Structure 1
Amino acid sequence: MALKTSLAGQTFAFADLRTLLAKASPERSGDHLAAIAASSALERVAAQHCLADMPLKIFAGLELMPEVDDWVSDLIAGQHDARAFSRVASLTVGELREHLLCADPAELERLTYALTPEMVSAVCKLMRNQDLIAIAARRKVVKRFRSTVGLPGRLSARNQPNDPTDDSFGIAASLVDGLVMGSGDAVLGVNPATDSVEDYGRVCRILDDVRAAYDIPTQTCCLGHVTTAIEAIEAGAPVDLVFQSIGGSAKTNRSFGVSLGVLREAQDAASSLNRGTIGSDCFYFETGQGSALSANGHHGVDQQTMEVRAYALARAFDCLLVNTVVGFIGPEYLFDGRQIIRAGLEDHFCGKILGLPMGVDVCYTNHAEADQNDMDVLLTLLCAAGVNFVITVPGADDIMLNYQSLSHHDLAYARETMGLKAAPEFLDWMVRQGMMDDNGALIPAPNALAAAFDRVETLLEAR
């Protein structure tokens, strides 16, 4: 297969599909670190020209990493719906972009299993940010457990009450801080500082005690390793969602300590508890550009394409939530605010096209060339794109993971400025508590936080 094109009096040749995809990627530091990025803006544009003219049929029959025995690749091949693909099989990648820009929501849904991750990654590389926003905004993915996440006109949030020592009151106090600001309709989710079964179960019980005591229509999750979750379920822990970080290759997933079989075992374990009230979507996956390179499991594939391959794994399960932790790994992979913003929009778009309930952890590390203004921009753009949920922490500063995210106040800004509401079940609960009006606006209550802290402290002492 000849992959070459002429531009500005020069001829550019690309050795294979993975090389072409890497060279066509918008610039990011991770691809430079892997020594696969375009050497110049001209080479990048040449690669995008070549990619735009490539027939989609080539992707349907070509192995991206033929030398690698990779079960993620096998999963991708097994998911491809040839009949659905026939709708777009005659198109080139560039024509697919035009098709998606004109497609209505029903057509986007019909294409979910027609397109492979590599096709979606390819067309993403040809798009401006506004293309990524406009198309993703039309692709709604709705999931349910105790609350409904992903409905039009809604913006949900994960309330992330992390504590550096997993202190019970520290977690509960932070949890309440987010609840009174309207955060938590996606999940009440803690990243534990340790990964013992005992601590996992204790965190689950703290979250579930608060949820049950106040009859909050949401779900809880301790974001420990999936094997710890399985053991905790066997020990009787109140597990709503099971969590796992995943990647786009078998080697990356081995670095996370998971396999397809282990993930299936975890879903079966969580499903057996039957804790959902309006749905049974019980998995929560996190991803992020750069994880495959960090694990030396990228096999020469660019980080954005490898990220989209992870979404094929996620959609093999009953997910309530999937989010990319977009700037968490650091500037070695996404150097500055510009790269983080682009990656966040890419990941959200690609996940939605592949049928996932996508959220984004809008975040950055303190050694990246980014600041909270960049996060304001990304949050606002994601709301325009119809993101299912974001993650919020007190003061936008995660004191356990040591990175900057969104604050609970940022969530209030986004909802009020763009006319978005919380999940319907959670909104009704907030209204009954006197913390929101019927339109979803927060109601100032000067003593509500202190009173809530007192009630939670009493609850913990009773335990």
Structure 2
Amino acid sequence: MSGYSSSVNGTRYTFEDLRSLLAAASPRRSGDELAGVAAQSEEHRIAARFALADVPLKQFLSECLVPYEADEVTRLIVDTHDSAAFRKVAHMTVGDLRDWLLGYEADAEALRALSPGLTPEMVAATCKLMRNQDLIAVARKCRVVTGFRSTLGLAGRLSSRLQPNHPTDDLHGIAVSTLDGLLYGAGDAVIGVNPATDSLANCIDMLRMLDAVREKYDIPTQTCVLAHVTTAIAAMERGAPTDLVFQSVAGTEAANASFGVNLGILREAYEASQSLRRGTVGSNTMYFETGQGAALSANAHHGMDQQTAEARAYAVARAFKPLIVNSVVGFIGPEYLYDGKQIIRAGLEDHYCGKLLGVPMGCDVCYTNHADADQDDMDTLMTLLTVAGMTFIITVPGSDDVMLNYQSASFHDLLYLRSALNVRAAPEFEAWLERMQMKDAQGRVRPVTSQTPLLAGIVAGEMTSRGG
């Protein structure tokens, strides 16, 4: 097929290739306009969607958006495509697939079976034909269950990453924030610290402290210091107690290179973490973070729109069977997602694409202080994502990350979501909260008192010791 076209109001629009068609069909966002790939008008955008709806899904298997020989992410997508799983929808167009996904036949089991047969570009294409409620409806049906010491992704559950960052990596400060989150029932997805520096010594100190806390109170969760993957490899080589290995990833080889990684390095880290066998209920050991605009900010988007480039990052993630993946949806800034409306849409897109591709998606529901967004926008997004079956949410003390200097969700927000939408913590973590006398008869987190066992032990100085 050479070129695509459609007519709207008597005007004919043409699109040179699949890459430009996908970009023009995307909802408006500042990053695509910055890259010069966005639709020139709303009519142009609608014309692109009409043309995209008629593209056969098979076309995505023959027309690569980034050349196969020039990009290892493209090679990963093509070489791991499951043709048997694809057979179910091989006769469909993008519009047909969109309609099928919204139908009753596309239940959780059908979507799980189809997932290996879908490429990120196919999923991104259907995303561009969907309203927000469509993204929610399909994602809610997807079920991606993973485990390490807690089981994540089960129906009716919402987990959280407890993010106790500190601007100087002070162990006492990290410990206090960890305590704060645990007392609100946060941390069942991971207790994960973004280090202020990528110092190996600091990384090992933090890993030992967090692991000592986990062991002291027998907490059924996993810990992670979100250092660069090569630092994590070095820490494992030195015997540091490493549960999860973290890395930011993107949808092209060049964008991943800007992060200092490639598929080979990720494979080395995956195999090293697997060899430790530290999990109890599962063996998923990787944690990936993504975000729309990462490829563009590295000048490595190859002319793709940012939502399509983002979807390709999930192919990288699913290759390593991660425990959790999250989009840092508003973190990169207004140059890529200008305001609350764009952030909300992007968060729903990322969750939909990730879940449909078989990735255990969570979200850092966040924004930077120079974006045209506020906490009301984040309330809307976190509520919608929970309705959509989000695996986990990132939570920080008071919504304000004092190290990364951006606004995220708080521990209180987690309580709101679990109460208002009747979702619960991971089962192992929920049982721990009960053992620690932190839940009442209705399953709610109890107000903290001096008699709360966890608090009483910490006040005695047990939590802030280096390595126990």
Q: TM-score range by the shorter chain?
A: over 0.9
Counterpart check, 1:306 vs 2:309: yes
Q: CA RMSD in A?
A: 1.3
Counterpart check, 1:365 vs 2:387: no
For the structure 1 residues 37 and 14, does the alpha-carbon distance in structure 2 shift closer, same or farther, using more than 3 Å as the test? same
Counterpart check, 1:266 vs 2:269: yes
Task: Tell me if the contact between 2:209 and 2:466 (Cα under 8 Å) persists in the aligned partners.
Answer: no
Q: How many residues are paired up?
A: 463
Give me the whole-angstrom Cα distance separating, in 2, the residues matched to 1:14 and 1:461: 60
Quote the sequence identity (%).
60
Structure 1 residue aligned with 2:155: 152
Q: Which moved more, 1:217-226 or 1:260-269?
A: 260-269
Give me the whole-angstrom Cα distance separating, in 1, the residues matched to 2:205 and 2:464: 14
- 2:166 equivalent among 155, 159, 163: 163
- 2:437 equivalent among 427, 434, 443: 434
Structure 2 residue aligned with 1:177: 180
Amino acid at match of 2:242: V
Give me the whole-angstrom Cα distance separating, in 1, the residues matched to 2:3 and 2:402: 52
- Shift of residue 65, structure 1, vs aligned partner: 2.2
Runs of 5+ consecutive residues of structure 1 not aligned to the other structure: none
Structure 1 residue aligned with 2:62: 61
Give me the whole-angstrom Cα distance separating, in 1, the residues matched to 2:457 and 2:131: 45
Counterpart check, 1:6 vs 2:7: yes
- Shift of residue 451, structure 1, vs aligned partner: 3.2
- 2:285 equivalent among 282, 295, 300: 282
Structure 2 residue aligned with 1:377: 380
Counterpart check, 1:136 vs 2:149: no
Partner secondary structure for residue 205 of structure 2: helix
Task: Tell me if the contact between 2:160 and 2:186 (Cα under 8 Å) persists in the aligned partners.
Answer: yes
TM (norm. structure 1) is: 0.98
Counterpart check, 1:187 vs 2:190: yes
Partner secondary structure for residue 363 of structure 2: strand
Task: Tell me if the contact between 1:240 and 1:270 (Cα under 8 Å) persists in the aligned partners.
Answer: yes
Q: Which moved more, 1:433-442 or 1:111-120?
A: 433-442
For the structure 1 residues 458 and 146, does the alpha-carbon distance in structure 2 shift closer, same or farther, using more than 3 Å as the test? closer
Counterpart check, 1:28 vs 2:33: no
For the structure 1 residues 358 and 71, does the alpha-carbon distance in structure 2 shift closer, same or farther, using more than 3 Å as the test? same
Question: CA-to-partner distance for each residue in 1:20-59, whole Å, 9 max, x for gaps?
Answer: 0000000110000001000111100110010011111111
- Shift of residue 452, structure 1, vs aligned partner: 5.2
Partner secondary structure for residue 426 of structure 1: helix
Amino acid at match of 1:145: F
- 1:388 equivalent among 377, 391, 414: 391
Question: CA-to-partner distance for each residue in 1:198-243, whole Å, 9 max, x for gaps?
Answer: 1110110111111111000000000000000000001110000000
Summarize the alignment of residues 63-82 of structure 1 with structure 2, pairs less than 5 Å apart: 63-66=64-67, 69-82=70-83
- Shift of residue 106, structure 1, vs aligned partner: 1.1
Task: Tell me if the contact between 2:123 and 2:353 (Cα under 8 Å) persists in the aligned partners.
Answer: yes
Give me the whole-angstrom Cα distance separating, in 2, the residues matched to 1:182 and 1:458: 17
Partner secondary structure for residue 56 of structure 1: coil
Task: Tell me if the contact between 1:172 and 1:456 (Cα under 8 Å) persists in the aligned partners.
Answer: no
Counterpart check, 1:451 vs 2:456: yes
Q: Which moved more, 1:229-238 or 1:63-72?
A: 63-72
Give me the whole-angstrom Cα distance separating, in 2, the residues matched to 1:440 and 1:85: 43
TM (norm. structure 2) is: 0.97
Runs of 5+ consecutive residues of structure 2 not aligned to the other structure: none
Task: Tell me if the contact between 2:72 and 2:253 (Cα under 8 Å) persists in the aligned partners.
Answer: yes
Amino acid at match of 2:313: A
- Shift of residue 18, structure 1, vs aligned partner: 0.4
Following superposition, which runs of at least 4 residues in structure 1 exceed 4 angstroms of deviation? 456-459
Partner secondary structure for residue 130 of structure 2: coil
Counterpart check, 1:317 vs 2:320: yes
- Shift of residue 318, structure 1, vs aligned partner: 2.2
Give me the whole-angstrom Cα distance separating, in 2, the residues matched to 1:29 and 1:252: 19
- 2:344 equivalent among 341, 344, 348: 341
Question: CA-to-partner distance for each residue in 1:308-361, whole Å, 9 max, x for gaps?
Answer: 000001000020000000000000000000000000000000000000000000
For the structure 1 residues 146 and 8, does the alpha-carbon distance in structure 2 shift closer, same or farther, using more than 3 Å as the test? same
Amino acid at match of 2:135: L
Summarize the alignment of residues 94-113 of structure 1 with structure 2, pairs less than 5 Å apart: 94-102=95-103, 103-113=106-116
Amino acid at match of 2:78: A
Give me the whole-angstrom Cα distance separating, in 2, the residues matched to 1:67 and 1:308: 17
Give me the whole-angstrom Cα distance separating, in 1, the residues matched to 2:390 and 2:441: 22
For the structure 1 residues 458 and 265, does the alpha-carbon distance in structure 2 shift closer, same or farther, using more than 3 Å as the test? closer
Task: Tell me if the contact between 2:175 and 2:464 (Cα under 8 Å) persists in the aligned partners.
Answer: no
Partner secondary structure for residue 323 of structure 2: strand
Amino acid at match of 1:361: D
Structure 2 residue aligned with 1:254: 257
Structure 2 residue aligned with 1:411: 414
Structure 2 residue aligned with 1:42: 43
Give me the whole-angstrom Cα distance separating, in 2, the residues matched to 1:462 and 1:205: 5
Task: Tell me if the contact between 2:251 and 2:313 (Cα under 8 Å) persists in the aligned partners.
Answer: yes
Give me the whole-angstrom Cα distance separating, in 1, the residues matched to 2:461 and 2:126: 49
Structure 2 residue aligned with 1:233: 236
For the structure 1 residues 49 and 380, does the alpha-carbon distance in structure 2 shift closer, same or farther, using more than 3 Å as the test? same
Summarize the alignment of residues 218-229 of structure 1 with structure 2, pairs less than 5 Å apart: 218-229=221-232
- Shift of residue 459, structure 1, vs aligned partner: 4.8
- Shift of residue 401, structure 1, vs aligned partner: 0.3
Partner secondary structure for residue 6 of structure 2: strand
- Shift of residue 153, structure 1, vs aligned partner: 0.3
Structure 2 residue aligned with 1:460: 465
Partner secondary structure for residue 460 of structure 1: coil
